[in-house]
Structure 1
Amino acid sequence: MTATAMQDEKQQAAAWFRTLRDEIVAAFEGLEDAQSDGPLSDRAAGRFEVTPTTRTGDEGEDAGGGLMSVMRGGRVFEKVGVNVSTVYGTLGAKAQAAMAARGVPGIEADPRFWASGISLVAHMQNPHVPAVHMNTRMFWTPNAWWFGGGADLNPCIEYAEDTAQFHAVLKAHLDPHGEGHYPRLKDWADEYFFIPHRNRARGVGGIFMDDLCTGDWAADFALTQDIGRAFLPAWLPLAEKRRATPWGEADREAQLLHRGLYAEYNLVYDRGTKFGLATGHDPDAVLMSLPPLAKWA
């Protein structure tokens, strides 16, 4: 692929991640508006606070940025962040070594990079509404490019039918790209979203992929887009169904303890958190995924 063609592909990917961000933000604010009766309906519907984020290169130069969109204290969402960014520059020594260990060719000889993507994490007011995570991204170096992303459900009170519905929608969006994709990405998510020091998963799974580069950019981007498109139909009906369910102190206790697991995973194991902090991106945006309150036994 020529340099000009790849520049066009980068712009196309970055624009699509921004479009997906806009759709999700609108849907989440619509969910807040819909909570007009039931728990917490007496408070104002939540709205996102949008803050530009910036990345500064080693020499102080502009190295990209994005938008951090966070809603706190809403009717349905206790805290939710939907971030989108496009960053570029030169990878530091630690990031180069990590990329080289993953098999990225030529990264130590030419450590320039470009990355764009969307990332969201939702922590809910109602313990019966499952927390959720989703991200999709594109990464480029002078000698390689790839896509990554996924979504996983993190209920503190599990409903088997909700888990089944979430997975069914993900599968339906992946199957047109080949029926082998869903089982492979499901197994990958089970492996990736696992907390070794607790010997348990952080949730009930989903799908996950990284380092996707078949050589067909359009096909790989189309798969990545359908991972993003699957998110709202997979999760939003679950939130709509559970948002008015009454809850008590025991439910809240279970929620806070489960959030402790989520925080442990994101701070110790999550690849995106490590990359964002290592490359100098806005730490508030990188750590947006952490819950507002959590508890440990």
Structure 2
Amino acid sequence: MDPMADGAMAEQKARAAAWFEQLRDRIIAAVETLEEGPAAGADGIAPGRFALRRTRRHAPEGEDAGGGTMALLRGGRVVEKMGIGVSTVHGRLGAAAQAAMAARVPGVAEDARFWASGISLVCHPRNPHVPAVHLNTRMFWTPSAWWFGGGTDLNPAIEYPEDTAHFHATLRAALAPWPGEYDRQKAWADDYFFIPHRGRARGVGGIFLDDRNSGDWEADFALIRAIGEAFLPAWLPLAQARAAQPWDEADRTRQLVHRGLYAEFNLVWDRGTKFGLASGHDAEAVLMSLPPLAMWP
């Protein structure tokens, strides 16, 4: 039971946390099926399977601060590395986290208690023609505010316009019940998933939002579910179509260099990485987004 809420908000937190776990289970099942499929490619390699381990938030106060699970697939036929983390953590924000949030969250300096739950996914495929992909959806609560955030973006090493078009069309359709929302979130993603020191985007974009609190929790939860539920139809057909496509060492080099860009963004700019490390969450879980191999020119 959540120690920092009761009544309606406790029930809403429980629903959000349960849904993130359900989404993880659906994605795991779909990816393991992909690994077994005839289009998986990588002959001689056994289909990949996810291994799950528990994660814990390390709170300086020494009390139970929550945790979650990290599902990790390595060395599969389609997926070289894919991590799916689900966590529900709580406690008090440290000084660094308070400072980072102070401008966005009124009252956080006066009462630093927090609760957060979410799912975070990054897939680094084996075949350079299969696009890497990221997904994150989350709910955050403090005594003065609650909000949802997250998004998804495509990160191909070798870009195909038709793949980009499919990914974005699927997201647009998913957000159609909210007029104007796709355009707003796409613009936000273009701005967020950008590497300033390289002067370029890390991929071909997607959608992103943060601090979502319209005052209607049910409506905002429906929106965040729509983003999560769009992930498989947006990405899985691309992986199915390209997993057995021939590739050579030049393609592999392009993939590894692109992964270097991805690592730079996550380590230098990504808000979730910074918060996870600053709040004491399991470092391996926070950094599971990093590629298994990368290269810099």
TM-score bracket relative to the smaller structure: over 0.9
Partner of 1:290: 290
Partner of 1:31: 34
Partner of 1:88: 90
Distance 1:268 1:58 in 2: 25
Change in 2 beyond 3 A, CA 1:53/1:38: closer
Partner of 1:151: 152
Distance 1:105 1:37 in 2: 51
Partner of 1:235: 235
Task: Name the SS for the 1:101 alignment partner.
Answer: coil
Residue 124 of structure 1: how far off its partner (Å): 0.5
Amino acid in the other structure paired with 2:220: D
Residue 162 in structure 1 maps to residue 163 in structure 2: yes
Distance 1:185 1:252 in 2: 32
Could you tell me the TM-score, scaled by structure 2's length?
Answer: 0.97
Change in 2 beyond 3 A, CA 1:142/1:240: same
Partner of 2:114: 113
Partner of 1:273: 273
Distance 2:116 2:249 in 1: 43
Partner of 1:132: 133
Distance 1:171 1:122 in 2: 22
1:92-119 residue CA offsets vs partner (Å, 9 max, x unmatched):
01111111122x0110110000000000
Partner of 1:65: 67
Distance 2:60 2:197 in 1: 35
Distance 2:210 2:9 in 1: 19
Distance 2:119 2:40 in 1: 32
Residue 38 of structure 1: how far off its partner (Å): 6.5
Amino acid in the other structure paired with 1:64: G
Partner of 1:205: 205
Residue 61 of structure 1: how far off its partner (Å): 1.1
Partner of 1:79: 81
Residue 8 in structure 1 maps to residue 11 in structure 2: yes
Unpaired runs of 5+ residues, structure 2, are none
Partner of 2:180: 180
Task: Name the SS for the 1:62 alignment partner.
Answer: coil
Alignment RMSD (CA, Å):
1.0
Of 54, 57, 61, which aligns to 1:55? Answer: 57
Distance 1:83 1:186 in 2: 24
Distance 1:40 1:151 in 2: 27
Which 10-residue stretch deviates more, 86-95 or 57-66? 57-66
Amino acid in the other structure paired with 1:92: G
Amino acid in the other structure paired with 2:196: P
Sequence identity of aligned pairs in percent? 68
Partner of 2:124: 123
Distance 2:21 2:6 in 1: 23
Change in 2 beyond 3 A, CA 1:235/1:27: same
Distance 1:291 1:285 in 2: 13
Amino acid in the other structure paired with 2:43: S
Residue 39 of structure 1: how far off its partner (Å): 3.4
Residue 250 of structure 1: how far off its partner (Å): 0.5
Task: Name the SS for the 1:31 alignment partner.
Answer: helix
Runs of 4+ with >2 A deviation: 36-39
